[in-house]
Structure 1
Amino acid sequence: MRKIALFAAASAAALTLAACSEATEDLAEATADEAVADAETNMEAIEAETDEAIADVTAEADEAAAEVEAAAENETTAEAAAD
């Protein structure tokens, strides 16, 4: 009788650990999925900021080039930018 009770208790403990491990695995998978989603969101934000910075630098470079051309050609910045 003791062996049966001991076996039943050991079996119950094993099932409890298995269920706990499965729950832990599910939580780990959910955490990994959330981390991937966060990384994607961050990459999209970085891409948007980079595109904006590139547009700003391009505009400033075009303006500087027009100023240099205007000075070299003895014309207004608007005329140089139009060329």
Structure 2
Amino acid sequence: ALNLANNRIENKGAEYLSKANFPLLTLLNLENNSIEDAGADCFAKTNLCMLTTLNLRKNNIGPLERKIFQNNARLKVLF
């Protein structure tokens, strides 16, 4: 697990994290980081193959972006 809650990650940080090499990471907590749709979209296409839970609570994710994650059976996203 990697807990980065309350760290002002924002969209650019989310993009970097989605491309990072964390082969065994299963839970990523990004709660309250001012991430918007563009940042969340990076995780819809992520290479983090073991990631099963992504916490995006208290961010600025819109309803259309949330729908994209509903179709991902492997990844549980918390909004």
Q: Structure 2 length as normaliser, TM-score?
A: 0.19
Q: Structure 1 length as normaliser, TM-score?
A: 0.18
Between Structure 1 and Structure 2, which shows a larger proportion of helix residues?
1
Between Structure 1 and Structure 2, which shows a larger proportion of strand residues?
2
Q: Which has the higher contact order (CA 8 A, sep 6+)?
A: 2
